[in-house]
Amino acid sequence: MMENSTWYLLTLRHPRKWKELLGKLEKNFGQSNVWIPTQDTEKIMRKKKFVSPEPIFSGYAFLRTDDVSEMTRKLREDLNEEAKVLGIGGGMISDSEMEETKEFAENLNPRTLSEGFSLDDKVRINSGPFRNFVGTVTKLEDRTCRLDLTIFGRVIPTTVELKSIEKI
């Protein structure tokens, strides 16, 4: 650990490219001085489940340094401003705040995006305009799913929130 080093909160210009940016930050500042807290998240792609790390705080990274001017120069020149220090006050994070953040990230329960639903599950909608309709899950996303509902003999695709359906 660097003497007199301080953690800073960075905002990422392109949050979806966090893995690429993490590599660049680690190359410029050292692996032990960069932290993007992640958690394993279950996803479904092409009808197959897989686990992928996803940032807990999308669009943010933590960086520890003892040389603010060097950090600013590297972020501006070497990283082409893909990450910037957050806030007018310099984005400094106290040691106690950083410990609380790390504890929070470590104790966070892994989330399952599909909330236990699978493709082709038969479900009943329990709220909204399609309440009590039964459908088949055709696509799962973060907090929603796509269902095929049969209404008046026609299959109608619709998207509903996961919290508004239950398995039958």
pLDDT digits (tens, 9 = 90+) for 119-132: 888 999 998 889 99
* 140 vs 134, higher pLDDT: 134
The burial class, CB within 10 Å (0-12 / 13-18 / 19+), for 136 is middle
- Percentage of the chain beyond pLDDT 70 is 90
- Statement to judge: residues 103 and 127 lie in one domain: no
Per-residue pLDDT averaged across 76-92, rounded? 82
Which residue pairs, CB below 8 angstroms and at least 24 apart, start in 19-23?
21/61, 21/79, 21/82, 21/83, 22/61
Number of domains in the chain: 2
Q: Is the pLDDT of residue 109 over 70?
A: no
Q: How far is CA 79 from CA 69, 71, 82, in A?
A: 14, 10, 6
Question: Which residues does residue 110 pair with via DSSP β-bridges, in sequence order?
Answer: none
- Statement to judge: residues 79 and 12 lie in one domain: yes
- Statement to judge: residues 21 and 103 lie in one domain: yes
Q: Which residue range(s) make up the domain with 147?
A: 122-167
Distance of CA 67 to the CA centre of its chain: 29
- Statement to judge: residues 77 and 138 lie in one domain: no
Q: Structure tokens of 32?
A: 């032990």
- Looking at every residue in the chain, the average pLDDT score rounds to 86
Whole-model pTM: value is 0.62
Q: What is the structure's pLDDT at 2?
A: 56
Could you tell me what percentage of the chain is helix, strand and coil, using 3-state DSSP and rounding each to the nearest 5?
25, 40, 35
